[in-house]
Chain A
Amino acid sequence: MSDPRCAAVEALLSQAGELASGERVERFEQLQGGWSRHSHIAHIAGGSEGRRYIVRVRPPGALLDTDLGLEFRVFAALEGADVAAPRVYGLEPLADSPFDGPFFVMEFLPGVAPNMYGRDDQAMLAADWDGARAIATDMVTTLAAIHGLDAAALPDDLPRLSFGDIVARWRSVYEERRLVRDPVIEQGFAWLEEQTPLDSREGLVHGDFRIGNTLIDKGRLTAVLDWELAYAGDVRFDLGYLALERSAGKHLRRRTPFMGTFADQAWFLERYGELTGSPVTEEELRPFQMLSIMMLLATQITAVWMYANGRTTDFRMVWARYSFPGLRDDMVRLMQW
Chain B
Amino acid sequence: MWNPLTPAEVVAAMGGPTQVAARSRVELSEWERGQLFSVYSATRHLAAEIGAVEPHAAGVAAELAASLRAAPDSIAGLREIAGRLEGTADPRVIAQLSCEALDILQADGSPPAQAARAALRAVLRRAVELEVGALADAIEGPA
In contact, A32 and B34 (Cβ under 8 angstroms): yes
Q: In the complex, how many residues of chain B place their beta carbon closer than 8 angstroms to a beta carbon of chain A?
A: 40
Residues of A304-337 at the interface with B, using a CB-CB cut-off of 8 Å, are 304-305, 307-308, 313-316, 318-319, 321-322, 324-326, 328-329, 332, 335, 337
Alpha-carbon gap, A305 to B92, bound state (A): 16
Q: Mark B100-143, 1 if CB is under 8 A from A, else 0.
A: 00100010000000000010011011001101100110011001
Kindly provide the distance from the CB of B93 to the nearest chain A CB, expressed in whole angstroms: 9
Q: Say yes or no: is B51 at the interface (Cβ < 8 Å to chain A).
A: no
Q: Say yes or no: is B58 at the interface (Cβ < 8 Å to chain A).
A: no
Taking chain A's interface residues, is the majority helix, strand, or loop, or is none over half, making it mixed?
helix
In contact, B125 and A332 (Cβ under 8 angstroms): yes
Alpha-carbon gap, A313 to B2, bound state (A): 23
Q: Say yes or no: is A178 at the interface (Cβ < 8 Å to chain B).
A: yes
In contact, B13 and A183 (Cβ under 8 angstroms): no
Instruction: From known contacts A180-B96, A332-B125, infer whether A315 and B3 are also in contact, taking CB-CB under 8 Å.
Output: no
Q: Say yes or no: is A264 at the interface (Cβ < 8 Å to chain B).
A: no
The stretch among A71-79, A93-101, A159-167, A184-192 that forms the contact with chain B is A184-192
Specify which chain B residues have a CB less than 8 angstroms from the CB of A274 in the assembled complex. none
Specify which chain A residues have a CB less than 8 angstroms from the CB of B129 in the assembled complex. 329, 332
Alpha-carbon gap, A206 to B130, bound state (A): 35
Pick the residue among B5, B106, B135 that contacts A179 (CB under 8 A).
B5
**Taking CB as reference atom, which chain A residue is nearest B129?**
A329
Taking chain B's interface residues, is the majority helix, strand, or loop, or is none over half, making it mixed?
helix
Q: Say yes or no: is A201 at the interface (Cβ < 8 Å to chain B).
A: no
Q: Say yes or no: is A125 at the interface (Cβ < 8 Å to chain B).
A: no
Specify which chain B residues have a CB less than 8 angstroms from the CB of A180 in the assembled complex. 2-4, 92, 95-96
Instruction: From known contacts A251-B140, A252-B135, A253-B136, infer whether A183 and B102 are also in contact, taking CB-CB under 8 Å.
Output: yes
Residues of A7-56 at the interface with B, using a CB-CB cut-off of 8 Å, are 30, 32
In contact, A322 and B13 (Cβ under 8 angstroms): no
In contact, B5 and A318 (Cβ under 8 angstroms): yes
Q: Say yes or no: is B67 at the interface (Cβ < 8 Å to chain A).
A: no
In contact, A325 and B124 (Cβ under 8 angstroms): no
Pick the residue among B96, B125, B139 that contacts A252 (CB under 8 A).
B139
In contact, A304 and B128 (Cβ under 8 angstroms): no
Alpha-carbon gap, A182 to B125, bound state (A): 13
Specify which chain B residues have a CB less than 8 angstroms from the CB of A308 in the assembled complex. 4-5, 9
> Considering residues B92, B135, B139, which has the most beta carbons from chain A within 10 angstroms of its beta carbon?
B135
Alpha-carbon gap, A271 to B20, bound state (A): 51
Pick the residue among B10, B38, B102, B143 that contacts A186 (CB under 8 A).
B102
> Considering residues A251, A304, A328, which has the most beta carbons from chain B within 10 angstroms of its beta carbon?
A328
Q: Say yes or no: is B39 at the interface (Cβ < 8 Å to chain A).
A: yes
Q: Say yes or no: is B73 at the interface (Cβ < 8 Å to chain A).
A: no
In contact, B4 and A178 (Cβ under 8 angstroms): yes
Alpha-carbon gap, A335 to B124, bound state (A): 12
Q: A180-B3, A182-B2, A318-B42 are in contact. List 18 more A-B contacts (CB 8 A).
A: A179-B4, A180-B95, A182-B95, A182-B99, A183-B99, A183-B102, A187-B121, A251-B139, A253-B132, A308-B4, A316-B34, A322-B41, A328-B132, A329-B128, A332-B125, A335-B121, A337-B124, A337-B125
Q: What 9 A-B pairs come out closest when comparing CB atoms? A: A252-B136, A179-B4, A183-B98, A337-B125, A181-B99, A321-B3, A329-B132, A318-B13, A304-B4
A-B contact pairs, 7 of them (CB 8 A): A32-B30, A307-B13, A308-B4, A319-B41, A324-B4, A325-B135, A335-B121
